Amino acid sequence: MKRHLHLLLPFLLLLMTTFSNIKAGERWNNSFDTSKVITSDASLSVMTIDIIVDLVSVHNPSLKSYVYKREAAVNQLKQAGLWQNPELSTEFEEVGWDAPGFSESEISISLSQEFEIFGQRNARKNVALAGIELTKFETMVEAFDLYLEVKRRFFKLFYTQNKILLADSSVLLAENIVKSIEFRMNRGAALHSEFLLAQLELQRLELDYQKVQQELRSSQIELAALWNSKKTDITVSSANEPNLQSALDRLQKITSQLDSTRYVQQLSYDIKKVRAEKQLVSKEAKPNVTFSGGFKRIKVNNSNSFLFGISVPLPLFNKNQGDRASLQASIRSKEYEQEKTRIETKAYINSSISQLTELINQHMTLDTLLLPTAENAYNTIQKTYSLGRIPYTSFLEAERSLIDLRFEHNDMLFAIYEQLLAIEQISGIRIYQ
């Protein structure tokens, strides 16, 4: 029954089309646009996911922090490309206490500059470039996670709204059952114990309704916090979804296109950075050359002379052997960790898809068999009751069975959506826009 479906097929239709042709650049994308001009949510009575994404784009401080993280990494590249500062030195010789001032002094002034002739500066730049790539990936993933969190909180509120409507129907139904049993009891057609049990059930459902109300308020506060809003009466809306059989048929094809996940890619960037650091350490083991030049003024005979010098440290003992070995071991460790992560995440995705497939099968059974059967039974019993052929309690029991199935339907849809979010997070692929 299409009117009972809330949101699932858009996920799975996009699951089919997205995974069929995934490119690396299409991963970790989000919908945030910080150039939006939405300033307030005060006039918004009902919000869609697009409106909330726009509000988060403008008001969530995390997005601005990602910009400055990337800027900090870029400035590290700028620093890595700078030359060492030249050194200006002055020496005073033959200045004694018994000499009349500086009349017999020798004054030397020289300027020296260190030159990195074995590629140290380029190696430092490579480390900075690797750091930029790592930071860009990390901030991209963090922004994508924020986008997923927006969706999670949005749909949590959406399903809670549905849940409170169902809880309200349950309470109303329980009240009608109590009234019906009380009426029958007063005429000797029902036991007092039956009336007490009905009252107990009503009290339980009223408590459940209060819990769902609190859950609704919490969901509203959690969602509003994403754009720093004090609005607590948020109502959200979303489109319905059609049949999902075609998506289910192609669901298993996802795994063949997910060899690289967020954790595997993270380690790839880590390894690249450590390799650049190792190259820098190797370059730094070779000595830099310092050239100097200046002049000397000999006061005693008023003569001048030019000075030229060259200095080279002798790499006899310290050739960065320990640092190079340590970094090489770190690279090997990360490579094995990456391989282990690739195996574990692939297993996790397979498991998630298996669970998702089972949930979808259960949902389709519920949606195409159980709910229609319960609705038909309810409609039949309603007509029979209107003709006076069955007692009112039978009609109420049919209605209660239908409400319970709708509760199960709502909970199952949210479970499916959470499973989809888990796959999105680890794969970096937007299954549902």
Show contacts of 198-203: CB within 8 Å, 24+ apart.
198/174, 201/174, 201/177, 202/171, 202/174, 202/175, 202/177, 202/178
The mean per-residue pLDDT over the stretch 169-195 comes to 87
Calpha distance 93→95 (Å, rounded): 5
Calpha distance 149→429 (Å, rounded): 14
For the stretch 35-78, pLDDT in tens is 777 667 767 778 988 889 999 999 999 999 999 999 999 999 99
Which residue type occupies 95? V
Show contacts of 354-362: CB within 8 Å, 24+ apart.
355/419, 356/251, 356/416, 356/419, 356/420, 356/423, 357/248, 357/251, 357/252, 359/412, 359/415, 359/416, 359/419, 360/8, 360/12, 360/244, 360/247, 360/248, 360/251, 360/416, 361/248, 362/412
Calpha distance 370→151 (Å, rounded): 29
DSSP helix/strand/coil, 289: strand
Higher pLDDT, 311 or 232: 311
Q: Give the pLDDT band of residue 244 (cuts 50, 70, 90).
A: low
Which residue type occupies 306? F
Residue 119 has pLDDT above 80, yes or no: yes
User: Looking at the DSSP assignment, which residues form a beta bridge with residue 307?
Assistant: 294
For the stretch 352-382, pLDDT in tens is 888 888 888 888 899 889 999 999 998 998 8
Give, as one character, the DSSP assignment of residue 370: I
**pTM of structure:** 0.82
